Amino acid sequence: MDSMIDFFSNIPSIYRAGILIGGLVFFWIIEGIIPLFAINYDRLRHTGLNLFFTATTLIINVAFASLILVSSDWAVVNKFGLLHIFEMPTWVFAIVGMLVLDLVGAYFIHWLEHKTRWMWRFHLIHHTDTHVDTTTANRHHPGESVFRAVFTIMAVLITGAPMWLVMMYQSASALLSQFNHANITLPKAIDTALSWVIVSPNMHKVHHHYVLPLTDTNYGNIFSVWDRLFGTFAYVADIKSLVYGIDTHFKPAEHSDMGNLLKIPFQNYRPPVGVDLAKESAIIGKKNIDVL
């Protein structure tokens, strides 16, 4: 454990970039070998578009890095935050810290984006992707990246997490997000078993179905416990019956044009188109949907 703390306390920027880029390349290759959905789209163009938003996310994260560092150092020096209330073994400290960082910095802000109209306008750029794959993980409007960074700072202060734990969480978050967005097919038993601990690919794909109510389920990023605990977990047996995208922006000119994607938050709000529940049940299979 000490060696892990030392590694993440002094992790070079090149290593952090390597985790992000290495994960993308690895899962991008695996998608070509065991895809969940056939790759019948212009994959290079799709990747290029999503990498643009990955770049803007990185720039904003770098801009907020010093604030995160200051927040973490202040919390540690002043023993501020949940992690400083009780003494605990280092491995428990790490697990509890990761869980709470994930709750505040990922699950809660994600849930809020779906429930707050002005936030949703930024977040729906992520949901407009009709070909969800590993590059979709960082398809976030720059505006969304800003308030996600703000919630990361809030999570650091609430937990009182030292920087080694923040770096560990952010590294795991990047890899797990790439993993659960990846267009890969795993044996059903393995995916189901994973979903009891972490957000598995099949679990997260449900969240990217194009209509409610499934769009408002499975908000988790790393740990699946929060969706199960707060009643937002949903299971779809026939995962290939899902349709990606969002019902308000199905035209290619709206979901595949960089200029339009950047302008969407400032356009008139479009309420969900809605769905014929009878037809939806017929398409997916009523017995295959279980929202807990």
Which amino acid appears at position 157 of this protein?
L
pLDDT at 287: 42
Distances, alpha carbon 66 to alpha carbons 63, 149, 239, in Å: 7, 11, 41
Convert 38-55 to b/e letters by CB count within 10 Å (16 or more is b). Answer: eeeeebeebbebbeebbe
**pLDDT tens digit string along 18-31?**
888 899 999 999 99
**pLDDT tens digit string along 153-180?**
999 999 999 999 999 999 999 999 999 9
**pLDDT tens digit string along 253-283?**
999 999 999 999 999 998 888 665 545 555 4
Domain assignment of residue 257, given as a range:
2-291
What's the average model confidence in pLDDT over 6-13?
A: 75
**pLDDT tens digit string along 119-143?**
999 999 999 999 999 999 999 999 9
pLDDT at 276: 57
pLDDT at 280: 52
**pLDDT tens digit string along 179-227?**
999 999 999 999 999 999 999 999 999 999 999 999 999 999 999 999 9
Which residue would you say has higher pLDDT here, 73 or 4?
73
- Domain total of the chain: 1
For the whole model, what pTM was predicted? 0.91
pLDDT at 125: 97
